[in-house]
Amino acid sequence: MTEELVIELLKEVFYTTFIILLPVLGVSLVVGIVVSIFQAATSIQESTLTFVPKILVTAITIILLLPWMIDKVISFATKILTMFSTVIK
């Protein structure tokens, strides 16, 4: 394995991870901002108010995007395994 191949492989790993996690983190961020604005506007400082909506929305997002996430991971694994067989030769 050459250094260029390892760097390309790591770049692909980080890119795939970023693409898979970005929607979940984005939705969680938006919900957190909305809840924070709601808390600031109403002066409600309940700690569970920040966690429960984020957990629920994050879980729903993961459930809805799970087929897409699995497809991305499977295509990446297939690419790695075909690359692995090519590198061995």
Q: pTM of this prediction?
A: 0.78
| pLDDT at res. 22 | 96
| pLDDT at res. 31 | 94
| Amino acid (1-letter code) at residue 46 | E
For the chain, the average pLDDT equals 90
| CA 13 to chain CA mean position, Å | 12
Rg over alpha carbons for the chain, rounded to the nearest Å, is: 19
Judged by DSSP in three states, 45 sits in: coil
| pLDDT at res. 33 | 94
